[in-house]
Amino acid sequence: MLANLVYAALLHELVLVMGWPPREHTGTVFAMVGPLGQSASALLVLGDAVGRPDSGVTLKGSEVAGVRVVRLLSLEIICVLLAVLMGGLAVIWLLLGIVTIIYRTWRRELLWNPSWNGIVSPLATLAILCILLEVKMQTGFFGITACVVIVVCVLMVVVNLMFTIWWVTMTRRRRKQEMLAAGGE
């Protein structure tokens, strides 16, 4: 819960106080999606592991067992609710990142740099969270969302690979021109 409060404070600081990040750091807005998706996925796995017979919890007596099962079930529900809450906050950060990209594109300030490769991992954690939520809740919404996020991840890998190749080629060309200019003097 403390992490959620810290993320809310960061969101307020970023959007309302500081304004948009510098154009070189546009891709770093997506970095906040990763820890939220990862923590929410861990909560879902923890909630699943609580009630399993192989979890090491021994139940003694029928009365204690009944109370124990109710407590374990409520802990599982709490884990699912916190995971959904953290997933929602991750989606808010994702939307903020998309709005940032649209804003920079509209103003023709969007520049690609190698830090854009860091977008894929946070999106992948969000896809894993959607897959776990789909398995847990048995709803098609999270399955479709996971498919969309996975397709976006694959597209981001391809686009980043193309831009990385372009960037390396341009850097080599620039260095070659600099060496020729320096050698000709």
Q: What is the pLDDT of residues 90-128, one digit of tens each?
A: 888 888 888 888 888 898 887 777 778 888 888 999 999
Q: Between these two residues, 10 and 132, which has the higher pLDDT value?
A: 132
Structure tokens at 120: 């894929």
pLDDT tier for residue 39 given thresholds of 50, 70 and 90? confident
Q: Between these two residues, 122 and 25, which has the higher pLDDT value?
A: 122
Contact between residue 43 and residue 132 where contact means Cβ atoms under 8 Å apart = no
Closest CA to 11 of 99, 105, 93: 93
Structure tokens at 127: 């896809």
Closest CA to 114 of 171, 32, 155, 154: 171
Closest CA to 92 of 25, 24, 17, 29: 29
CA within 13 Å, CB half, 29: 26
User: So what's the pLDDT on residue 63?
Assistant: 47
User: So what's the pLDDT on residue 184?
Assistant: 57
* Structural domain count, the chain: 1
Closest CA to 113 of 103, 122, 124, 104: 104
CA 6 to chain centre: 16
- 64 pLDDT more than 60: no
The range of the structural domain enclosing residue 109 comes to 2-184
